[in-house]
């Protein structure tokens, strides 16, 4: 069973990256398995993410590098930005990320879902996606879509995503 509780919005000291002194997030409890007294997994929708830390995370799963200027713009203009952190005492580490574009009304499209390989296969990707879906649902978005690489179709299927419902086809246009 997975559940969240609201994290204290109090000041949490921040070591890992920037000069930020606040950290707003929600704590994940994974039946005690993923968390110990000193370690917590925390989700956040704060978009103030260190771009180098995010790039490192994407490097870990072998994604092609993208200009940070464009990544910054994409984060700014995403409707929802979800990050997953491991908090150990005063240290925090970015271990997961996802974001969604949206028209703020009917539909959202989820992009860039990633979990640090050292933290994969523990239910954290699933928990992060559930958190993402919950956030989109609470914004009254009913049509949540994504484009899944073939090797992760089943990961999303387990979360309730359907491939080509009623024959609707995902289509792509790339410049020549």
Ligand X SMILES: CC(C)(COP(=O)(O)OP(=O)(O)OC[C@H]1O[C@@H](n2cnc3c(N)ncnc32)[C@H](O)[C@@H]1OP(=O)(O)O)[C@@H](O)C(=O)NCCC(=O)NCCS
Binding of ligand X at residue 163 (CB under 6 A)? Answer: no
Strand partners, 100: 80, 110
Helix (H, G, I), strand (E, B) or coil at 96: strand
Residue 45 CA: distances (Å) to CA of 7, 25, 52, 62, 91: 12, 7, 18, 24, 19
Binding of a second copy at residue 156 (CB under 8 A)? Answer: yes
Nearer to a second copy among residue 32 and residue 150 (C-beta): 150
Site for ligand X in 55-114 (CB under 6 A): 61, 113-114
- H/E/C letters for each residue in 42-73? EEECCCCCCHHHHHHHHHHCCCCCCCHHHHHH
* CA atoms in the 13 A half-sphere facing the CB of 97: 24
Instruction: Spot the catalytic one: 52, 119, 131, 156.
Output: 156
Q: Which stretch binds a second copy (CB under 8 A): 27-35, 37-45, 51-59, 103-111?
A: 103-111
CB 110 within 8 A of CB 99: yes
5: left (phi over 0), alpha (psi -120 to 50) or beta: beta
Site for a second copy in 66-85 (CB under 8 A): 66, 70-71, 73-79
Q: Which of 88, 90, 137, 158 binds a second copy (CB under 8 A)?
A: 137
User: Is 156 an active-site residue?
Assistant: yes
Binding of a second copy at residue 111 (CB under 8 A)? Answer: yes
Nearer to a second copy among residue 21 and residue 76 (C-beta): 76
Which amino acids are annotated catalytic?
156
User: Using CB under 8 A as the criterion, which residues of the chain lie in contact with a second copy when the complex forms?
Assistant: 66, 70-71, 73-79, 99, 101-107, 109, 111, 133, 137, 142-150, 153, 156-157, 159-175
């Amino acid at each position: 069973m997975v559940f969240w509780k609201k994290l204290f919005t109090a000041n949490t000291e921040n070591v890992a990256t920037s000069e930020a002194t606040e950290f707003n997030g929600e704590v994940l409890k994974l039946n005690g398995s993923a968390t110990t007294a000193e370690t917590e997994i925390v989700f956040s929708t704060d978009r103030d993410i260190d771009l180098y830390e995010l790039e490192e995370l994407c490097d870990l799963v072998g994604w092609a590098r993208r200009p940070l200027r464009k990544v910054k713009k994409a984060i700014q203009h995403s409707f929802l930005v979800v990050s997953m952190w491991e908090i150990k005492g005063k240290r925090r580490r970015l271990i997961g990320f996802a974001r969604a574009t949206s028209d703020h009304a009917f539909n959202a499209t989820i992009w860039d879902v990633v979990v640090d390989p050292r933290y994969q296969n523990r239910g954290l990707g699933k928990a992060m996606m559930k958190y993402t879906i919950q956030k989109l649902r609470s914004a009254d978005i009913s049509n949540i879509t994504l484009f899944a690489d073939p090797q992760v179709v089943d990961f999303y299927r387990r979360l309730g995503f359907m491939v080509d419902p009623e024959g609707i086809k995902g289509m792509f246009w790339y410049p020549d």
